[in-house]
Chain A
């Protein structure tokens, strides 16, 4: 082949790129992703942004538009300070689970990096968002941007009507409870964010139409004595016990204004939208990293990526999937990219060149030969916890030299090494690592248990203590205060152990006329 012909094939040369380069890169990646890897993606939208815009996106949880709140200003300042002093690099890319799937590319990236990022985000993450069951169940990719636009407008209008301070306080309180504002179990109806916006508008229009001041003056009839309702019926009526605190407050808090309920609803929906991402960090990044690795290699094989650019890619790839060992200064837990990518590659190995051990451990997939078919199935049907529990192989446990530490403060002598990468340890290590990715296990389990409707309307909340993990005192006080402010009456939080015995209690009373 002549030198000219070789050049002809290359997508780009050197580090510079322009929009037609991006288009070429995208088309080449798309060809491999759809035709060779069989991926199924949302249409792509690629946005080129500056570093400042990247910081912007960072501080509003990556979303292109978001309502206004001081905490985002704080995060922005925080990131900016780190970035300016060169202590931290910005991410190369941010990708949004929406349809069309928006990927942000930084303008500083070289052409190789843009290729890597397009392969990683616009195809890897994109496929995962579109096909994983959690995302299908809990998020509405078509509606999210419209919904955020609605949320931003709605909160801005509330600020005009009710004052910035009142809205800010409501948002503060809602944000504090955000981590406990998600449904963990599927309900009957699928979330439809477009409907949400319509619903709110209709409700308000209805209210305005039906408004008649006379109703205020009509004497109320006798209400049924609350004391008659027995505990069980009361709980059933309120939907207790309830682990979605924001949902409960939105539906049942007696003293909230309608707009405050709507704000709680907005925060709850946002939390719910991000809920799947929290449960699929390893898989999501593993998928994207595996996909970019395959695509980049194919590009190089096809002669569309020069050797120099391929080496540049390998260097960044190696940085991304670097996993320091536990005694390394740089160690801060598992790197989801590294673990995810290693597991995907390990599955590829099991599917194509299984050993006897693999056949014994993974009879379903060992030697099946169709790597992408197996992987696509896994990407669709698992989350981190089940993925690790199912597919962490003894081979990989040995390769990463995993071991399990059990540290019980009651044990005076020290920390027990309870399992290592040997025959006896594989299953225990796998079970324990899977549990570390189960947010039902790592997040404190908090439930609203009862409301004393007949008496002082005190809300009873319980934290089920596992492994002696108590709540952090200072933060709990603050959050509980927010909870009491929203509820409007006293709140009691009990920490109970396995035998239903109360170990600790926290109280909070609402702060006067805060709202």
Chain B
């Protein structure tokens, strides 16, 4: 008898089957992931976890018996029946078998646990930063192979045939390897000569030639050359995302939750998809401050509202740290649309003349109470931005009232577009 300890075998033997299953169930998984987002707490929104998939589309059909027909069965545990008894059928089951609970378990829906990576992968599948144009050589992470001469070792698929045969020919000439024609000519000469003595001499010569050509191979491993490749750094775009959030007193808890959800998506999207994206968090009341992500998402604050303060802070940070010639600058602003009356023109000026010309893309999200209507807005900020947008600047605006609108809006703002400009 053998005892084999398999516990130390590599784990994840079923991983590939799992990936195949996920690929097959992709659209269903995507739907389920988006649905599950609405019901979760902001903190564990993206921890992966259990989703529920509809099972159709992933059925494995087989020829099976359908409902109906005569049912004949033997059961254990008779207590009171005698032969010939007629048992009335249980109501609601048109002639089915009397007892079948427990069969066909849970085939209509399918609980499935996704890992965090799988969850994010599905979740961020088709998003990108628009108009990532200013590509500058900077600290690079990406490399692409480029031809760099020849080497004596390499993979067979990289054999440089021309170079190899050239080297082989050089060697053959240098070592005076007899050519096939020479040998052929000699053979012919042997056949034609009648003089025995000369024939013997010629045959000796032929023998030595043959030996020599055997000694000096046509192609020697020494001749073989491979094409060599070197990794060349590829230029990578640098980008910065400004997250501007209004945390003033007019923002209700619901609105803050919406805004935070939006930024959380944005943050995850950027940190997962782009290695080189800086994120700057600015929150403002009547004055703005740059904060770290922990404070941004979870720190409490309250006060009046001066939108221009956030824009001014953003401009200041750009001047100090992010040269617009090198950086792709993005901004996403979330607010309830309130702004103090006197601040309107300052904000407009700042945005139109100083911020937007520097930005690749500026997204404005207006959050409202759950009862609000996300198709219209009469807030002062919306009206102001709307008038600016007319001037063909990279500004997008959306309004969100309910949790389940967050993802569609986010997706809409950042989905991949081929060539065309971001929709207003």
Contacts and interface: CB of A to CB of B under 8 A. Distances in A.
A60 B18 CA distance: 12
Given A49-B7, A471-B65, A70 B85 contact: no
A409 B74 contact: no
Interface in A15-57: 19, 22-23, 26-27, 30, 43-50, 52-53, 55-56
Interface stretch (A196-204, A305-313, A319-327, A448-456): A319-327
Interface string B83-102: 11111110000110111011
A326 B76 CA distance: 6
Given A81-B113, A403-B75, A414-B89, A70 B70 contact: no
B421 interface: no
Nearest to A408: B70
A69 B70 contact: no
B83 A417 contact: yes
A390 B99 CA distance: 27
Contacts of B84: 416-417
Given A47-B6, A76-B14, A401-B79, A178 B68 contact: no
B303 to A, nearest CB: 47
B78 A70 contact: no
Given A323-B76, A404-B72, A415-B89, A471 B64 contact: yes
Contacts of B97: 407
A55 B65 CA distance: 29
Contact of B20 (A168, A463, A482): A168
Given A409-B68, A467-B69, A70 B75 contact: no
Contact of A400 (B4, B14, B76, B83): B76
In terms of DSSP, what is the predominant structure of the interface of chain A?
mixed
B77 interface: yes
B112 A81 contact: yes
Interface string A461-492: 00100011111111110110010000000000
Contacts of B4: 45-48
Given A46-B1, A49-B7, A73 B63 contact: no
Q: Most chain-A CB neighbours within 10 Å: which of B7, B22, B74, B87? A: B74
A418 interface: yes
A52 B9 CA distance: 11
A421 interface: yes
A332 B89 CA distance: 19
Contacts of B418: none
In terms of DSSP, what is the predominant structure of the interface of chain B?
loop
A252 B3 CA distance: 46
Given A407-B98, A446-B63, A471-B65, A72 B17 contact: yes
A36 to B, nearest CB: 18
Contact of B77 (A401, A413, A416, A429): A401
Nearest to A85: B111
Nearest to A77: B112
Contact of A478 (B50, B61, B111): B61
A175 to B, nearest CB: 6
A514 interface: no
A421 B79 CA distance: 10
B73 A404 contact: yes
A53 B70 contact: no
B215 interface: no
A114 B112 CA distance: 32
B58 interface: yes
Contacts of B142: none
B371 interface: no
A30 B14 CA distance: 34
A475 B17 contact: no
A470 B97 CA distance: 15
A68 interface: yes
A413 to B, nearest CB: 5
A142 to B, nearest CB: 16
Contacts of B23: 70
Given A400-B76, A405-B72, A44 B1 contact: yes
Contact of B17 (A73, A421, A474, A478): A73
Contacts of B41: none
A131 interface: no
B116 interface: no
B77 A56 contact: no
A401 B78 contact: yes
A416 B98 CA distance: 11
B72 A432 contact: yes
A414 B68 contact: no
Contact of A468 (B62, B68, B103): B68
A73 B78 contact: no
B112 A413 contact: no
B74 A71 contact: no
Contacts of B62: 176-179, 475, 479
A153 to B, nearest CB: 15
A81 B111 CA distance: 6
A56 B13 contact: yes
A84 B21 CA distance: 19
Contact of A331 (B64, B67, B102, B112): B102
A323 B75 CA distance: 11
A334 interface: yes
B3 A429 contact: no
B39 interface: no
B94 A424 contact: no
B17 A69 contact: yes
Interface in A386-408: 400-408
B69 A84 contact: no
B293 to A, nearest CB: 32
Contact of A414 (B70, B86, B110, B113): B86
A329 B101 CA distance: 8
Nearest to B100: A332
Contact of A472 (B3, B64, B89, B112): B64
B11 interface: yes
B110 A78 contact: yes
Contacts of A470: 65-66, 68-69
A405 B98 CA distance: 9
A326 B79 CA distance: 10
A327 B19 CA distance: 43
Interface string B102-121: 11000000111100000000
B9 A48 contact: no
B81 interface: yes
Contacts of A436: 73-74
A104 to B, nearest CB: 8
Contacts of A326: 75-78, 98-99
Contact of A402 (B21, B58, B72, B76): B76
Given A49-B7, A471-B64, A413 B78 contact: no
Contacts of A270: none
Q: Most chain-A CB neighbours within 10 Å: which of B2, B64, B86, B113? A: B64
Contact of A53 (B2, B9, B73, B83): B9
B423 interface: no
16 contacts: A72-B17, A73-B19, A76-B17, A81-B112, A405-B75, A409-B94, A409-B95, A415-B86, A415-B89, A422-B83, A424-B83, A436-B74, A469-B66, A469-B68, A469-B69, A471-B64
Given A176-B61, A468-B68, A482-B61, 16 more contacts: A19-B5, A70-B23, A73-B22, A74-B21, A85-B111, A175-B60, A179-B63, A180-B63, A324-B77, A326-B99, A402-B74, A413-B88, A414-B89, A416-B87, A436-B74, A475-B64
Return the 8 tightest CB-CB contacts between A and B, nearest first. Answer: A325-B77, A73-B21, A409-B95, A73-B17, A472-B66, A332-B102, A478-B61, A326-B75
Interface of B: 1-7, 9, 11, 13-14, 16-24, 50, 58-79, 81-89, 94-95, 97-99, 101-103, 110-113
